[in-house]
A and B are shown apart, each in its own frame.
Chain A
């Protein structure tokens, strides 16, 4: 595997999907994948089929909802949007992510200074 393109941790991808849906409203799977790719500047290149497993799981948890709609090319597609519970979860995960990344950042800085 390409070393620059890290294997996306499950929790991270959950967070990214939720954040994307929070920012852009209703999106289909393709749109979500494009958006994440774009935002991560192609560093995170996911196996796009896998995203659907994540979507299904998020849906089972009640964090996102889905409904059938029509895509840009006039095909039937499923559109996902964040739910109220999803918003709460997003807040929790954002907070914990920031805390962890803060800690890790500090650790790395200390390590650099030796």
Chain B
């Protein structure tokens, strides 16, 4: 071992000092030659004779040098350098070929690296918290429904009873109005229980985090932890921030800590305050508003935790019969839970991009094959003058590797640019989008892909190219490459390309089709010309149940209404599309449904101007009026779906409905029916909805909608000052138009559509290049045959059809294979689709037609060339 190390060391030394050693060796040989010559002269030869004999005796100097270098240095490395140099030289001589290859590869590698970066950052990389591997999310759910949040009472039970979890923590996303320093600002954050930061395992950058003593009712819970980004933007990274008092939602909070850069869990939070459960929330087993996360105790598995959760859920139900029947508690990994909404789409994207890369490789193999054929004479000469076949194959592989490295470099550039774009477009929508970056893992992936690509497309020509028959190829005009190897493998590659292109185009077509259908969905309101201004009323200034809140809102609405250019104004607690609260309800005079099967409805509060401003049609009865105030009779407006589902044969107006989940049950009388609006997005089914007058069921979160005469954003400054003239501490930092909100709700689908569109266009282009090069190569090979056909009387039209037919046959075969594959693959993407089936015949037929046309068009160019062959020239050809 030591020995061979020594030899290696000496070889490396020799290789490094190659030039010097070589020179010394030449000196040594010269000295030897001279002595030998002298010896021969002494034996009686003439000088000339002696010199000649000495040379013969020595052997070929060049060959000696070569062997000496091989023994003395690192021949493999030297050959590699030589090969790389040679490869670069040959590529320079074929700039067109090199350019097409590098571009193809750059696109393939760039696209796959970009998507892999997203997948890596979002799906693969562990959450950037020290406890990431142990973090679980605990959810309450009911059979047949998607998982839901926790109630505070269950959270307390869980914290008391669980043996397999530790640092069990509950939090609630919350809004905060920051006032006092500069313009009032509306920031999102969370109310967190004392163990929140220890569950994540995070230490603050400055000061301390919220701890167990901060979340006790009656204690000093007016403390706040800031995100790095907020600390930077609003407080200029002032290290003296600790201990300072901030006005947060009209109360004084003491800053106790600043978190490290990048931490924004949950949901881009920038402020964390203690979650203090007073009165109502503390014993509540009905309002599911809390997110619960925890650490698995060491040695405990997710499975054992799940077992314990089931037991705890049963115990809770036994102790509180009839409160929340059939409640289940489930434990899932936090990371999985976090990325679940985007996982299927990301997997589909990475699959698509993998297909694209494969297609690029096929294209390169095809190009390389054509090149290998064209360069056959070169290979033959090199074999004839003594290059080994293995050496030649290695040379070809080096060439492909050089190409793929160049392609990879280009791809990395493309990837980093497109990644920037993807993140910018998708930042608000993609979980963990801040963690997406090109990192070593992605870099490794790129290198691996480029290497595999290089080997894949280098191998085919290396195998075929070195299997040449020397004699035939050296002879002038000898047919190139043995038998049908080249056309056969080329045809197979083109079939593969068409099949891959079909799969990608069908996938992209289905997604685009879904998108178009979504755009045609009627949202139930008229979004154009509406500005939406979210308002958050501090519970300290406007406690729930206090009429102060509705009074302020009424004043604000009146003030905005008088702004010039405002056509109408309305108020709602949660806008359409973006979701909102819901409740179980009971209809008066009907048998009480079993507790586990109560009907539920979305719940909204609105003012008298809301329906008119939004363009939501009134179908029966009346809208709210100014006189539906806190002191008046409680009234409700329901949507069409609710009317249809619960009063299919009677008039719902005048019926009484009781809402159960929000504090003490509230009962109201239905006075009107309005049209449905899309509640949770354009692609979601609309359920029953109940509207309350805002002054009869006051909310902390409200949104003012303003319909303007023209561009609603132009109204913003005037609306702002109208609001500030009444409440100068009301932040208006998040005003948006409804068109913007609609577009954002489609952003994710839009991104998928754009990405798949790009991939499939690239696929189409590559397939077109593939079939073009196959047909034109075959035409150039069959020039003589065409000449003969024409000479013995074939029509030019026949030749044209012959060539077109050849291209069409290959294309149709590829399309057939692709359709078969797509039929089974698109089913996997059904959750990305809307309004079209995974086997939508129109999309499939359209793609097949498009590809056939492309095949015919690209074959037509070489076919025309074949048709114009002059028989006389063709027959003399070769």
Contacts and interface: CB of A to CB of B under 8 A. Distances in A.
B68 A52 contact: yes
B402 to A, nearest CB: 32
Nearest to B65: A49
B29 interface: yes
B32 interface: yes
B71 A53 contact: yes
A75 interface: yes
Contact of A75 (B6, B34, B57): B34
Number of chain A interface residues as a range: 20 to 34
B421 interface: no
Given A48-B36, A60-B10, A30 B71 contact: no
B68 A73 contact: no
Nearest to A33: B32
Interface string A52-89: 11001101111000000001110111100000000000
Contacts of B57: 47-48
Contacts of A48: 32, 36, 57-59
Given A48-B59, A61-B3, A61-B7, A53 B31 contact: no
Given A73-B38, A77-B31, A49 B6 contact: no
B67 interface: yes
Interface string B18-31: 00000011011111
B35 interface: yes
B59 A47 contact: yes
A34 to B, nearest CB: 8
A77 B27 CA distance: 8
A78 B72 CA distance: 16
A75 B37 CA distance: 14
B61 interface: yes
Candidate in B6, B35, B64, B71 with the most chain A CB atoms within 10 angstroms:
B35
Nearest to A62: B6
Contacts of B491: none
Interface string B53-88: 000011111001001100110000000000000000
Number of chain B interface residues as a range: 20 to 34
A75 B68 CA distance: 22
Contacts of B32: 28-30, 33, 48, 77
A50 B58 CA distance: 8
A5 to B, nearest CB: 13
B337 to A, nearest CB: 62
A47 B64 CA distance: 10
Contact of B27 (A50, A61, A62, A76): A76
B31 A76 contact: yes
A71 B3 contact: no
Contact of A53 (B30, B60, B68): B68
Nearest to A72: B35
B634 interface: no
A15 B865 CA distance: 71
B707 interface: no
Contacts of B10: 59-60
B339 to A, nearest CB: 57
A73 B58 contact: no
B64 to A, nearest CB: 4
Contact of A56 (B59, B61, B72): B72
A15 B753 CA distance: 76
Contacts of B36: 30, 48
A13 B677 CA distance: 96
Contact of B6 (A53, A60, A76): A60
23 contacts: A29-B31, A30-B35, A33-B32, A47-B57, A48-B57, A49-B29, A53-B67, A53-B68, A53-B71, A56-B68, A56-B71, A57-B71, A59-B10, A60-B7, A60-B71, A61-B3, A71-B35, A73-B34, A73-B35, A75-B30, A75-B34, A77-B28, A78-B24
Given A47-B58, A56-B68, 11 more contacts: A30-B35, A47-B57, A48-B32, A53-B71, A57-B71, A59-B10, A60-B6, A60-B72, A73-B35, A75-B31, A76-B31
List 9 tightest A-B contacts by C-beta distance, closest first: A49-B59, A49-B64, A30-B35, A77-B31, A47-B59, A60-B10, A49-B58, A30-B32, A75-B31
